[in-house]
Amino acid sequence: MRSSHKAEPLRVTRERDLVRVTRALFDEKGMQDAPIEQIARAAGIARGLVYRHFSSKEELFVLTVTDYLAELDGVLAEAIGRARTPTTKLERCAEAYAEFCVRYPAFIDCALSLMRRPASDLQDVVSESVWLRLGQGMARCSDQLAVVLREGAGTGAFEVDDPDYMANFLWTSTLGAMHLARIRIGLRQQARGVPAAFAVEPEQVVRSCVALAKAAVKA
């Protein structure tokens, strides 16, 4: 009993360290591209020890996403807390979310990667507890926006039939739009069908995301 009591804090600490190292590598590279060998080396442990804490690389990846979501949850709460009216809360929330994506390009990659993958496939390679933690992290963030939308609908400031649906719609719409801010390049067609690239500034996309949120609920 004594041995297992001592092992538990070590396991939790090492899991947290591995998630921290993985996220640091993601942020450094700007995408979710960090081999297990590199993660283990950065954490100062053998590769095999990583799989003592995670059943697969996907499980470590998912927990890294939940780490981003935990920070984002705090960022959204702080942004909303500084506002007073539903419209200002919506603006601050949309702006904070978009700016978080600008600050952490790897978060955009991670989130879009999860959305592209069938949920049943992901459930097959991660534990139930990890799957639950991911769902909790995503729900907490979207609920921040849903609460604002519900308040706005209640006061007549917004036209929203289903705040939870609209929160999820704006969540995914912003992720797609912020990918444009990530690559910073748009395309237009010139004469004779010749494509031409033009620069896209992240700040411009952030403003567009705020405008989209307000337009979607007729604020």
pLDDT of 2 above 80: no
Q: Is the pLDDT of residue 211 over 80?
A: yes
Residues 105-162: tens digit of each pLDDT:
999 988 888 888 788 888 888 889 999 999 999 999 999 999 999 999 999 999 999 9
Cβ proximity of 79 and 95 under 8 Å: yes
pLDDT category at 30 given cuts 50, 70, 90 is: low
DSSP structural state of residue 185: E
Same domain, 138 and 149: yes
Are residues 91 and 40 located together in one domain of the fold? no
Bridging pattern class, strands 195-199 and 185-189: antiparallel
Range with the lowest mean pLDDT among 9-13, 54-58, 160-164? 9-13
Count up the domains in the chain and report the number.
2
**In this predicted structure, what is the pLDDT of residue 8?**
53
Q: What is the mean pLDDT of the chain?
A: 89
On whether both 194 and 209 belong to a single domain, the answer is yes
pLDDT classification of 58: cutoffs 50, 70, 90:
confident
Rounded to 5°, the CA angle 183-187-193 comes to: 155
Q: Is 145 exposed, middle or buried (0-12, 13-18, 19+ CB in 10 A)?
A: buried
Long-range contacts of 197-200 (CB under 8 A, 24+ apart): none
**How many Å apart are CA 185 and CA 182, to the nearest integer?**
8
Q: Residue 205: which CATH number? A: 1.10.357.10
Query: What are the start-end ranges of the H helices in 30-127?
Result: 36-43, 47-53, 57-81, 86-103, 105-116, 119-123
Domain that holds residue 6: 1-53
| Same domain for 103 and 133 | yes
Residues 124/19/176/197 CA torsion (nearest 10 deg): -120
**Residues of the chain with pLDDT > 90: what percent?**
59
pLDDT digits (tens, 9 = 90+) for 63-107: 999 999 999 999 999 999 999 999 999 999 999 999 999 999 999
pLDDT value for 173? 95
The domain that holds 5 is classified in CATH as 1.10.10
Same domain? 112 vs 168 = yes
